[in-house]
Each structure stands twice: as structure tokens, then as C-alpha cells.
Structure 1
Amino acid sequence: MSQAMGFAPETLICLLCVILLLPAPSTSQDTFIRSRATYYGSPDCYGTPSGACGFGEFGRTVNDGSVAGVSRLYRNGTGCGACYQVRCTTPEYCSDEGVNVVVSDYGEGDRTDFILSPRAFVRLARANVASKLLAYGVIDVEYRRVSCHYSGYNLMVKVHDYSRFPHYLAIVVLYVAGQNDITAVELWQEDCQQWKGMRRAYGAVWDMANPPRPSGSGSIQLRFQVCGSAGTTWVQSRNGLPSDWKPGVAYDSAIQLLA
């Protein structure tokens, strides 16, 4: 799958996600949307750690490897981490519930909205007929957005491996629960007494050159603009990034978004 970088006005992103994907007060979309899906090759049937969302290993194994690349649902990266119920529509081969997948990549197929990991694709099938479904390659499906659930996990902030302390900070936000999109991330700049916005570098990766440095042994405070069924709001992390943050390390925010 190819990696896509792009930027869009946050207000437009939020408006689209509320109108198209997040009808309140339901915990999921009531109406299924018809589309098509295919699958990609994988030696172990899981996802890929090099997906366009920037999730790394999280994007390979989250949700037991039931992940997907999407095209228009990618939404310039805002769609990364969203959860969907996908079910195919051939009664003799397809299960009633289908499979819930997490968006971890960008990809375009033959008029498809979903390019599923092999593990996700076979879970569309009834017992003992997965091989027949795989033989189709591309199938008709219907889908709806559903809430993500991560039992035992708070929202996590992982410092991207490309970060270089202290001059360049890139982060990935993981375990975003519910039907919520992260549409902005800000860091508190203590010397100016104001919030400073990070840039969406690509996918779910946010970055900043010369990030704020807290005084003494303090932490870097973060807050997230969340677009969900309740509208748009700012949520501040209870735990900030330590002043000596390290690339590759994931830090617990001590918060979780509502489903």
C-alpha cells in the first residue's frame, strides 16, 4: 500500500466526520453502506508495520491483526484508528456479523473501500468456507463505523522513532476509544503561557520542531482536539511527556475517550 501525506482544515475534517460517520446518540452507525473489499498478501496474515498511518508494530497486531487499509475513509490521516464493522453479502459464504477492523493504512483497490489483512478477510466467512471466499479476491460488502474498545488500555502517546531529542518531536496517538477522531494536538509552551499546535506530518503522526522544554523536572503537557458523537472538544492528558522523553517509548496519558 502507498503512503499518503496531506493536510486539511480541521474544521472541515470535524464537520465531515460528524455528518458522515458519527451520528449521535448511537454507539455505531445504524445504516450499513454498500461497498467492496479485497485483501493483501502477508506472510503471517497480520497487518503491516509500515502502514501509512504511522502506527508501526501497533498497526500490525492491534485487534489481533484484523486491520484494513482504506481509501476515501483515510481522510488525510484523520481516519487512522477508526473501527468499522464489515460484512460480506454472499449468504452461502458470509457470516452474519462479519468482522470489526481497525484502520491502519491507506490503500486503493478495484473500487474498494477496504483492503483487509488476511486475518480480517477470512473472518468474514462462515465456518469452513474461508478458502472459497478467498478465491473471489474482491467481494461485495457493507460496512458501518463502530466504537473502538481497548480493554485495559488508556490512550497512549508513543514518541516516534524518527524523533531526535530535544530538537524534533514526533508522536503517534494510540488506543483512541469510541468513535472519536483526533483532529489536533497541542503542547503547552510554559515560557509563553500558551498552547502550541503540532503539525499532522502524515497519517496519525504529529510533529514539532524545537518542542517546548519544561523547567526542572516538569513534564510537557498535551491536549487533544477530539471530534466525536458529542461534537468537538479539547481533552488534556493527565500525564505529560517527561522532560527527557525518548524515541520509541509509549507514555500513558492516564485518560481514555468515551465510547
Structure 2
Amino acid sequence: MELHPKYQIVLVCVLLLPALCFSQGYTYSRATYYSTPDGYGTSTGACGYGDYGRTVNYGMVAGVSGLWRGGAGCGACYQVRCKDSKLCDYSGPMIVTTDFGAGDRTDFIMSLNGFLKLGRDGKASQELKNQGVVDVEYKRVPCTFDGSNVKIKIHESSKYPNYLAIAIIYVPGMNDVVAVEISDNDGKDWKAMRRTFGAVFDLQNTPKGPFKLRVKFSGSYDWVESPKNVIPSYWKNGAIYDTGIHA
């Protein structure tokens, strides 16, 4: 039975639509993995997350190269899926950027936990692992795994009370933090913090707290201020604070 030409066109569109949707909004690249004894991330990642960078997002993390953006890309979330229909999970895992890393034309150097999630089952994951490097496609997605507020950590390099460094460990949504300022007098004046590396911002000759924060997100000229003091007067290294700032 031969279809009328107009129905042939409709049929072709229906058949092609899944393939077109599969790649809509995705960027083609390659991915590989690095090994740690437990398959998690590393505590020495270039974002400055420390041990947090090992287990965040269940250890499904990656070092990136072109997506690094001078450290502003730290904490960004990406949906990553490989392209072999026999081996690869259709959706693929969500991967969090915690490190800088450059490989053989790869945008993602993933923790083993993250890399294995590319596979549709255990056997497929092992085969992908044996390949070492796989073709992938990825797109940025909103970070939603730790609530709706920006979170910070007092970085281990801080020296109370005169030198304060903070790491921006979680930014919800799809924004990057590009600037941070701090105030010790309820927002009446602000002192700029310097990005030292990765997601870490610091301030020399730190005044006595408590402190409010405000941040500037990528794509915006406006500052977003914390609704109340975030960092207490007697802060300690390693402490994590919810800023109350929505991205």
C-alpha cells in the first residue's frame, strides 16, 4: 500500500523527531575518566572544594577544560550521555564540575562513579570503561541537588581573624558567580573579595564580623544580597553556611 505524498512527509517527520530531539541543545564532545580507589572525586580539585568535592552529587563529578571559564565554571551541572545505543543509557548522569582537567580532545574527565553511569547496565558500563574514551554529548542543566540557595564554605587556607577565604560550593540553577563582596556593617559599605583560584574568593585584613555577602551572577549587572548575616564573628575553617541568596 502506497501512502499519499503528504502522509509520507508526516511519517518521515514522526520517524525523525526522536533523533532530532535527542540532540537538541546538546554539544558533541568526548569523555574519559580518572581512577580513585573508591571511584569518587578528588579532594585536591582545582575548584578548592576539598573533601566536599569528592562526594558531592554522589561522587559523580568531572574535571573540565573548555568549560572551566577561569574557575567560574566550578559547580556547574551538566547532563552527559554517550552515543552508542547498545551500551549507553538514554539520559546519562548529571555531572558536577569540581576540577580543571584537559585530555585528548575531551571536555569531561569524569570520576569513575560518574563515567560508569553512562552505561545502560553493569556489563555495558564495564565495556565503556574498557574503551577508556567515549563520544558524548552534553548540555548544561540546573543544579537542584542541594536546595535553592547559594552555599559557601570557609576555606582551609583561612587564618582567623585576619585572612578570610571562602569557596562557593553550591549555586542553584544555571548561573555562575562572577563576583563576591562582603560587608561587616549590615550592607552600608562593601569590600570586594578576590577570586584566588577556582571557586575560592579571599579578603586580606579582614574586619571583625559578622558579615553579609552579596554576589553577582553571570549575565546580570545587579548584585544579589544575603537577607541577613551569613558568616559569624568567630568563624572556623571548614564551616559551611547557607547564604539565603537565590540564584
Bucket of the pairwise TM-score, normalised by the shorter protein: 0.7 to 0.9
Q: Which of 38, 41, 46 matches 1:44? A: 38
Structure 1: segments with no counterpart, 5+ residues: 1-28
Q: Which amino acid aligns with 1:187?
A: I
| Equivalent AA in structure 2 for residue 114 of structure 1 | F
Is 1:223 equivalent to 2:214 in the alignment? yes
Does the alignment pair 1:207 with 2:224? no
Secondary structure of 1:242's counterpart equals coil
Matched, 1:241 2:231: yes
Cα–Cα, structure 1 residues 151 and 72, in superposed 2: closer, same or farther, change >3 Å?
closer
For 1:180, the aligned partner's letter is N
Residues 161-185 of structure 1, C-alpha deviations (whole Å, 9 max, x = no match): 1101111100011221100100000
1:73 alignment partner, SS class:
coil
CA, structure 1 residues 30+170, in 2 after alignment: closer, same or farther (shift >3 Å)?
farther
Partner of 2:11: none
Bigger Rg over Cα: 2
**Worse-superposed segment, 150-159 or 140-149:** 150-159
Cα distance in 1, alignment partners of residues 44 and 126 from structure 2: 27
Which amino acid in the other structure matches residue 237 of structure 1? S
The residue type equivalent to 1:223 in the other structure is: R
Cα distance in 1 for partners of 2:98, 2:186 equals 37
Flag the 1:143–1:173 CA change in 2: closer, same or farther, 3 A: same
C-alpha offsets along residues 79-118 of structure 1, whole Å, 9 cap, x if unaligned? 0000001110111111110111000000011110000100
Given that 1:37 and 1:113 are in contact with CA atoms closer than 8 Å, whether structure 2 keeps it comes out as yes
Alignment coverage as a number of residue pairs: 223
Indicate the residue corresponding to 1:147 in structure 2. 142
Does structure 1 conserve the Cα–Cα contact (< 8 Å) formed by 2:153 and 2:239?
yes
Measured against aligned partners, the alpha-carbon deviations of 1:34-61 in whole angstroms (never above 9, x if no partner) come to: 0000000110001001100001111110
1:180 aligned partner: 175
Q: Is the 8 A contact 2:30 2:134 kept in 1?
A: yes
Residue aligning to 2:125? 130
Question: What amino acid sits opposite 2:144 in the alignment?
Answer: H
| Higher mean displacement: 148-157 or 76-85 | 148-157
Q: What TM-score does the superposition give when structure 2 sets the normalisation length?
A: 0.85
Q: CA RMSD in A?
A: 1.9
SS at match of 1:121: helix
What is the alpha-carbon distance in structure 1 between the residues aligned to residue 68 and residue 26 of structure 2? 18
Secondary structure, counterpart of 1:120 in structure 2: helix
Taking the aligned partners of 2:121 and 2:138, their CA distance within structure 1 comes to 21
Distance 2:30 2:186 in 1: 52
CA contact (8 A) 2:208 2:233 kept: yes
Q: What is the alpha-carbon distance in structure 2 between the residues aligned to residue 37 and residue 162 of structure 1?
A: 32
* TM-score (norm. length: structure 1): 0.81
Shift of 1:153: 6.5
- Indicate yes or no: 2:44 matched with 1:54: no
Larger RCO, structures 1/2 (Cα 8 Å, 6+ apart): 1
Segment of structure 1 superposing worse, 82-91 or 238-247: 238-247
Residues 213 and 30 (structure 1), Cα distance of their counterparts in 2 relative to 1, 3 Å cut:
farther
SS in 2 for 1:59: helix
Residues 227, 233 of structure 1: 8 Å contact kept? no
Residue equivalent to 2:155: 160
Q: Does the aligned pair in 1 maintain the 2:31–2:110 contact within 8 Å?
A: yes
Unmatched runs of 5 consecutive residues or more in structure 2: 1-22
